[in-house]
Amino acid sequence: MSNSNKQTNQYTDKRHRVAQDPSIKKRNRILFIGILTISIIFTIILSTGYILRYVIPQEKVIVEIGESKYKRADMLKMLRVKQKNAEMIGSTIKSSEEIFKALQNMIENEIIDQVAPSIGISVTEGQVDIYVRDVFMPTYNSDESPDPVQIEREFREIFNNYLNSVGLTEEEYKKFTRWSMLREQMRQFIGESVPTVAAQVYLHRLMVMPDDEIDIMKKKFNDGIPFKYIVREFSKDNEEVIRRGGEIGWVPQGIFPEYDYIIFDLEPNLLSIESQSIETPPLLYFFMISEKDPARKIALEELEQLKTKALNDWLNTKRKEFNVKATFNSEVHSWLSKQLQVSSLEKPKEKQSRLQELGILQGKK
């Protein structure tokens, strides 16, 4: 036997004797168990942290309306849909505002859902399916003639891509869609009580800061300088209103309910008292009306606004009939805000649906 083979055999025998040594085997076993134990503990710590931070909070009930209960996860999904749609038009949502709106909408939608059958309002699965297909169905150029199988495949691709990007199941998306359709039907039903003819005023508006030269502005008005020129000199309103010289147009009661008591008691061509802006304090409003009409047909845009107001008034009254419990505080608000910050949104496929063509799911048109 060569010296090389002898050395190899000796080395192999030595490894075998070491491997068979009871003390070494025991030490290796202890080392293995120790490493395994540490790995298990580390995994448990990570899993526990994940469960405590993400899983358990999502399962906490945030709203109870009678027998119906909604978790934080339900509200988070509603918010992610809004976040996704805003992202697709190159915008962002104001999470703080949208969280409060989502809570309110969740309560209102459940109330509508429970009341609707009693007044003959319903949305069937078939109606929801038609809406979904209309929104996500791909569109083609006039020279394209895809077969039905291709159309169906691309519809499913667009729809599933959207569902994945917002983290919804098809069932969850259809539930939200049904809520939206029910709400619109209820708005139209309640809106039937809104008159189509009403007393109106032709409204003009000027917005200033409290430390602006208000006395000089008033003096110029009293000296007979046209209101539109005063607006263009002093107003802090949006550019379009300033360009129109402060003209808002014909307005019935209820369009600006916070200021109705000022607007409709005002005589034509007189400047109103100052009124703090509800939406943007500390800005101040001054109003002026140039005409009054005791019975004027309400324009379609204002009529739709009044229908929405009628629905909101109805919901505020109806809510008192329900046992509504909302668990909402700064901790819940903070948790929802953080979840929205880490939301990962995917880009839609190239094929456009009708919703994408309208600029709701993709870049602005």
At 1-51, the pLDDT tens digits run 555 555 555 555 555 554 556 666 667 677 767 676 776 665 555 545 444
Largest CA distance in the chain: 125
Reported confidence tier of residue 58, pLDDT bands at 50, 70, 90 = confident
pTM, to two decimals = 0.76
At 313-324, the pLDDT tens digits run 999 999 999 999
Element (H, E) at 62: strand 61-65
Q: Report yes or no: 246 and 228 within 8 Å, Cβ to Cβ.
A: yes
CA distance 142 to 126: 28
* Peptide bond preceding 282 in cis form (omega within 30 of 0): yes
Report the pLDDT value the prediction gives residue 50, as an integer from 0 to 100: 42
Between helix 72-88 and helix 170-191 the angle, nearest 10°, is 80
Reported confidence tier of residue 167, pLDDT bands at 50, 70, 90 = confident
CA distance 196 to 298: 5
At 195-253, the pLDDT tens digits run 999 999 999 999 999 999 999 999 999 999 999 999 999 999 999 999 999 999 999 99
* CATH code linked to domain 198-297: 3.10.50.40
Report the pLDDT value the prediction gives residue 33, as an integer from 0 to 100: 74
Reported confidence tier of residue 363, pLDDT bands at 50, 70, 90 = very low
Report the pLDDT value the prediction gives residue 249, as an integer from 0 to 100: 97
Sequence ranges of the domains in the chain = 3-56, 63-192+308-357, 198-297
Which three-class secondary structure state does DSSP give residue 114? helix
Residue with the bigger pLDDT between 44 and 97: it is 97
Element (H, E) at 218: helix 214-222
